[in-house]
Chains A and B, each alone.
Chain A
Amino acid sequence: DAGITQSPRHKVTETGTPVTLRCHQTENHRYMYWYRQDPGHGLRLIHYSYGVKDTDKGEVSDGYSVSRSKTEDFLLTLESATSSQTSVYFCAISESQANSPLHFGNGTRLTVT
C-alpha cells in the first residue's frame, strides 16, 4: 500500500469550532487531494495541491481551506465546522503523469454535532 496516513481517523466536534485534518505521505508524490464522501454518494473534490504552496479549489471548497508547506503534508481546515460538513474525508496522492494512479488514504470520519 502507498504510504498515506490520515489523522485523526475519527473526530467528533461541535458546530462552530475549527478542525484540521492531516494527510501525510511518504511517497514524495507531487499531487495531493482532499475528497469528501457522504452516505450513499460519490467522491467530491474539495481542494487539491500540485506542489508545495500550490493549491486550488475543487467542486465543494466553501468552508474549507488547505495548506501544503512541505511535500509530505496536506492539511484540510474547516474554519468553523457545520453539521453539513459531517462526512468521511479521503486524502489521495498521485504523480503528475496521465498514467499515474491515485492512491487513497483510509479516510477520516468527522462528525459535527
Chain B
Amino acid sequence: DAKTTQPNSMESNEEEPVHLPCNHSTISGTDYIHWYRQLPSQGPEYVIHGLTSNVNNRMASLAIAEDRKSSTLILHRATLRDAAVYYCIPRGQGAQKLVFGQGTRLTINP
C-alpha cells in the first residue's frame, strides 16, 4: 500500500485559494489518487480523484505532479464551509484494504 504524507494543519483566509499538498512517493503506476474531506461532526465525503492529468470538478481541482509522487488539492476560493480535515489516499485496481492517514486539518479565517 502506498503511504501518504500530508501536513497536519493549514490555515487560510476566506475567499483566497488554498493548496493542500500530499506526498505519495511509493504510488504504483496504476494507482488513482483520491481526496476526501470530513466536515466537523460529519462523515467523510468524496472530493475528487485523478490518475495522471489534472482534474477539475465543482468542488476542487487536483494537480498531479508529472512523476506522480505528489499531488495538490486546490480550493480556488475558500469559504468557511471548506474548513475540514482533508485526506488523500492512493487506490489501485482491486485494492481492498484502504487505510487513511491523519489528513490535513484546514482552518479558514473570516
Which A residues are within 8 Å of any B CB, using their own CB?
31, 33, 35, 41-45, 48, 50, 56, 58-59, 90, 92, 94, 96-107
Contacts and interface: CB of A to CB of B under 8 A. Distances in A.
A43 B98 CA distance: 10
Contacts of B91: 98-100
Nearest to B102: A42
A112 to B, nearest CB: 20
A48 B43 contact: no
B97 A56 contact: yes
A92 B38 CA distance: 13
B15 interface: no
A97 B98 contact: no
Contacts, number: 66
B98 A99 contact: no
Contacts of A90: 43-44
A94 B49 CA distance: 14
A50 B96 contact: yes
B95 A98 contact: yes
Contacts of B42: 106
A99 B43 contact: no
A35 B85 CA distance: 16
A101 B44 contact: no
Contact of B98 (A33, A41, A105): A33
Nearest to A43: B100
Interface in B3-23: none
B36 to A, nearest CB: 7
Contacts of A56: 96-97
